[in-house]
Structure 1
Amino acid sequence: MKPGMEVGKVETIEIIVTEDMLAAFEGEVVHPVYSTVAMTYHMEWVSRKIILPFLETDEEGMGASVQINHLAPSLLGSKVTLTAELVELRNNVVVTEVTARNDVGIIGQGIVKQIILPKETIAQKLRDASFSS
């Protein structure tokens, strides 16, 4: 990792809830609101933005865990702002706390853990996984 990543670093993204982000299973919309799946994706994305400037050319981040509490709905067309704050940095482990808000208030909170590894280590893990199937 390049130097400079420190606890307290913050990144933000804003999204507009679109039809492909609605709560749906097998193509059928169950609720016309921002889905937990989409929120999880966006929490991972805003957390990834924390590490991107600090990755060496031979490194990559991998998601290790996501804990999420989806607290309130956000309707189709609404704006959601997701903010990640780096709360723990231990060796190659990066932990962020993420908050999702719309114009009504907080709609979700989560914790995202990423591991930074050499690309070759990741490639070997993928090769090992392909042999075990």
Structure 2
Amino acid sequence: MIPVPVGATAELVVVVTPEMTVRFGELGPVHPVYATYRMAEHFEEAGRKLLLRSLEPGEAAIGRSLSVEHLAPAWVGDMVQVTAECVELRGNRLTCACRAVAADGRELGHGSTVQVVLPQQALDDRLRRP
């Protein structure tokens, strides 16, 4: 892996769609706002976007941990900017601080992700169903 410098960032811009609102399989629609689990997905995607620049041939990465604190709502049609910033690279683990901000500047949430870089073959072996 090419080292990711502390402070490096990647951004993801999304527009909240009806599919990104709070809906549970068994319970159905709950709230017509940006779901926490979608914010988590976008934090992971932004972090992966940052990491992909540094993977070398034969390397792969997998998520290890994720945290999200959802602070404010966003509604269908709202634009959300998600940023992942490298705060630590220790060995083969990349830790990113993540933040979601609405177009009007409101902080919607923050959290962190940790991804682990492995040889592609090692990851394939781990993911093979027994």
1:43 — aligned with what? 43
Give the distance between the partners of 2:15 and 2:111, measured in 1 at CA.
19
Q: Which amino acid aligns with 2:118?
A: L
Could you tell which deviates more after superposition, 19-28 or 8-17? 19-28
1:79 — aligned with what? 79
Normalising by the residue count of structure 2, what TM-score does the alignment of the two structures yield? 0.94
Q: Percent identity?
A: 38
Deviation at 1:2, TM superposition (A): 2.4
How many residue pairs match? The answer is 128
1:64 — aligned with what? 64
Alpha-carbon deviations, 1:57-76, whole Å to 9, x = none? 10011000001101111011
1:29 — aligned with what? 29
The structure where helix makes up a greater share of residues is: 1
2:17 — aligned with what? 18
2:110 — aligned with what? 109
Alpha-carbon deviations, 1:57-113, whole Å to 9, x = none? 100110000011011110111010011110000010000000101125101001100
**Structure 1 residue ranges, 4+ long, deviating more than 6 angstroms after superposition:** none
2:55 — aligned with what? 55
Normalising by the residue count of structure 1, what TM-score does the alignment of the two structures yield? 0.92
1:95 — aligned with what? 95
Give the distance between the partners of 1:73 and 1:7, measured in 2 at CA.
30
CA RMSD of aligned residues (A): 1.2
Unpaired runs of at least 5, structure 2: none
Q: Which amino acid aligns with 2:11?
A: T
What's the secondary structure of 1:44's corresponding residue? Answer: helix
